[in-house]
Structure 1
Amino acid sequence: MTTPLVGTVTYEICPLQSKEEYWQAVHMHVHSAARQHVKLLVFPEYQTAHLLALMPVMSHAEAVAYLDSLTEEYVEGFSKLAREHQMTILGGTHIVKEGDGYVNRAYLFYPDGRIATQNKVHTTPEERNVWHLKPGESFDIFETEVGKVAILTCYDIEFPETARIVADRGAELILCPSYTDAAAGFYRVRYCAQARAVENQLFVVMSGLVGSVPGVEQIDMAYSQGAVFAPCDFPFPANGLLAEGVLNASMVTTAPVDLHALQENRTHGNVSPFYDRKPDVYAACASANILP
């Protein structure tokens, strides 16, 4: 049986002349992944925000409303690509109206036309105070051809509890679409993503935006590197790195995700952090106010 491949897109934002140019870039990455027989492809956080490059300078309120107006086109475009290439595609995240506000929502497009969504739960200070985005309130697990996946968007991955919750619910892969505008943000997400793979003995697939769009305040610069992480233990590489792209380069990076190897790691690894927690001790410490 062939081990399925996952792909992570490092997507370049740049000045745009038309929506067609945007979709050409998206298609290029999907076609590249299809040629490599990728079964699950992950685009970055704020994937559609690149389209702000087509508009005059906007306030944040105007920007979120504009992006929401593109929802139907976004959904139709990525749904068509998933069907045509028989590939499950995480189309990054997209700002969409929910109730009386807006959320940062990841969309998972299946080859059979189904669509699953996951709102970002931990909004950053900028998302809360400038974009005025509402946080999500739960995490879901999604069945895919590659395995059971959860989606922790960017800042979500920086909270160990999130990954433990989805791991306890059966997640074998965590998909982490991200947008970081500087090196410090990128390394926070990257190192936390790798830590979550070690702590929970699962795979983490990280994607990100790179490049710049001068004059677009909401998404003017981006810094990232796609990567796929595994536990730093048998039978995986000692550094836990299955694949990584080139820093700040637009590309698709692929890696095999072998669920049998993951089970071997959980059963025969040198350490078993997935199983060796001490919840009773943690609860006792918390109730004694030893932990904040």
Structure 2
Amino acid sequence: MSNSLTVAAAQFEMREVDGFDAFARQVRGLLDRTDGADLVVLPELFTAALFTARPGWRADPVGELSRIADYTDDYGALFQDAARTRGQVIVAGSHLVRAPDGEGVHNTAFVFFPDGSVVRHVKTHIFPAEAGWGTGEGDILAPFRVGSVTVGVSICYETEIPEVATVLARKGAELIVSPSYTFTPAGFWRVRHCAQARAIENQVYVVHCPTTGDPGAPLSPGRGRSSVLGPCDTGFAPDGVLAEAAPDTQDVITARLDLDLLHENRRTGAATTHTDRRRRAPVYRDYAEELLAGL
């Protein structure tokens, strides 16, 4: 029997809402389109739509985006219930959460399981614009299991940092999920191209899921299109794209990931980068000082 995992990218469109209930209805409607998926991925900071729930929000500075952290309990309850009732593992994008020390916020990905358990990943490399929201950085890269598949989280800008995916792959990740929120086409393509590169160099699957929509200033618009990516090699699509959403709008895509094919590709593919990067580790040690300079 083939070892597989069915994944869905639920591309959320930010819209003005009058409260959490309206936001939750939109989320539930989107999730209803993911039936049959074992793992569902939502975008980075799609909860920014909750910034619009306060009357007069258009006059507020974007530096106050951290106030969406006030909805953390409601957000958690919504997705815990959804994971339980739907029987799915849900990577609920990411959300701003108050830092434990009370200083600022953390851009945190939550993974909700049907049994009620929750895994968190705090973004380790914030995009420069995030500093203006008082966002701190995490220090832990820890994959988790969905059935027999090992999954890592790489939030947006983290996907542009090769070391993040390298560590996750070294820890056994076969799938990397990349929620993102990019404000321009250039930003989207940076993450998308890097997601494809991470899939090739580590021989992993990547699910890239961007936030879309433009409620208006001071919120930045969300640009992009979700995709499920694999290595560009025999057995996969030549361009590595297994599925792709419509651009810049709400959409859902679903794909079945064949893990046996992935592992066979690591052994016998035309480009066995997963093995060859490890094989030449002695060379990298010779340049360890340059690789780690400034770290």
Report the TM-score, using the length of structure 2 for normalisation.
0.92
What one-letter code is carried by the residue in structure 2 that aligns with 1:190? R
Alignment of structure 1 residues 33-182 onto 2, 5 Å: 33-34=34-35, 37-55=36-54, 56=57, 57-60=59-62, 62-64=64-66, 66-98=67-99, 99=101, 100-128=103-131, 130-145=132-147, 147-182=149-184
- Give the equivalent residue in structure 1 for 2:221: 221
**What percent of counterpart residues are identical?**
33
Residues 39-83 of structure 1 show CA distances to partners (whole Å, capped at 9, x for unaligned) of 10000000211111112233345331x211111100000100000
Residue 205 of structure 1 corresponds to 207
Verify the 8 A CA contact 1:47 1:91 in the aligned structure 2. no
C-alpha separation between the residues in 1 aligned to 2:182 and 2:291?
34
Decide whether the 8 Å contact of 1:7 with 1:33 is kept in 2.
yes
Partner of 2:11: 10
Q: Is the 8 A contact 1:40 1:146 kept in 2?
A: no
CA offsets 1:204-253 (integer angstroms, 9 cap, x no match): 001011110113x2x33110100000011122121111101111121111
Residue in 2 that maps onto 1:244: 244
1:71-118 residue CA offsets vs partner (Å, 9 max, x unmatched): 110000010000000000011101011112210000000011100000
Q: Deviations over 1:127-155 (max 9, x none)?
A: 12x11210111101111136111100000
- Structure 2, unmatched stretches of 5+, are none
Cα 1:284–1:92 shift into 2, 3 Å: same
Separation (CA, whole Å) in 2 of partners of 1:263 and 1:107: 28
Name the count of aligned residue pairs.
285
Contact 1:39/1:145, CA 8 A, preserved across alignment: no
| Separation (CA, whole Å) in 2 of partners of 1:67 and 1:103 | 12
Q: 1:125 offset after TM fit, Å?
A: 1.1
Q: Is the 8 A contact 1:92 1:177 kept in 2?
A: yes
Q: Output the TM-score relative to the length of structure 1.
A: 0.93
- Relative to structure 1, the CA distance from residue 85 to residue 113 in structure 2 (aligned partners, 3 Å threshold; closer, same or farther) is same
Q: Does structure 2 conserve the Cα–Cα contact (< 8 Å) formed by 1:39 and 1:146? A: no
1:195 and 1:220 map into 2 onto residues whose CA distance is 26
Is 1:230 the counterpart of 2:230 in the alignment?
Answer: yes
Equivalent residue runs for 1:270-285 within 5 Å: 270-277=270-277, 278-285=280-287
Instruction: Name the CA distance, whole Å, in 2 between partners of 1:59 and 1:95.
Output: 16
Q: Contact conserved, 1:172 with 1:203, CA < 8 A, in 2?
A: yes
Could you say what the CA RMSD is over the residues aligned between the two structures, in angstroms? 1.6
The whole-number CA distance in structure 1 between the counterparts of 2:147 and 2:80 is: 16
Distance 1:114 1:285 in 2: 42
The AA in structure 1 aligned to 2:181 is: Y
Contact 1:10 1:224 in 2 (8 A): no
Taking the aligned partners of 2:244 and 2:176, their CA distance within structure 1 comes to 16
Assess if the C-alpha contact under 8 Å between 1:141 and 1:148 holds in 2.
yes
1:20-54 CA-partner distances (Å, limit 9, x unpaired):
221111001111102xx011000000021111111
The one of 189, 192, 201 equivalent to 1:190 is 192
Post-superposition offset of 1:291: 9.1
For 2:62 and 2:226, the matched residues in 1 are separated by: 28
Stretch moving more, 105-114 or 12-21: 12-21
Deviations 1:147-176 (A, max 9, x none): 111100000000111111110100010010
- Counterpart CA distance in 1 for 2:75 and 2:30 is 16
Q: Which runs of 5+ in 1 are unaligned?
A: none
> Is the 8 Å Cα contact of residues 201 and 262 (structure 1) preserved in structure 2?
yes
Asked if structure 2 preserves the Cα contact closer than 8 Å seen for 1:146 and 1:257, the reply is no
Contact 2:94-2:109 within 8 A present in 1 as well: yes
Equivalent residue for 2:26? Answer: 25
Secondary structure of 1:5's match?
strand
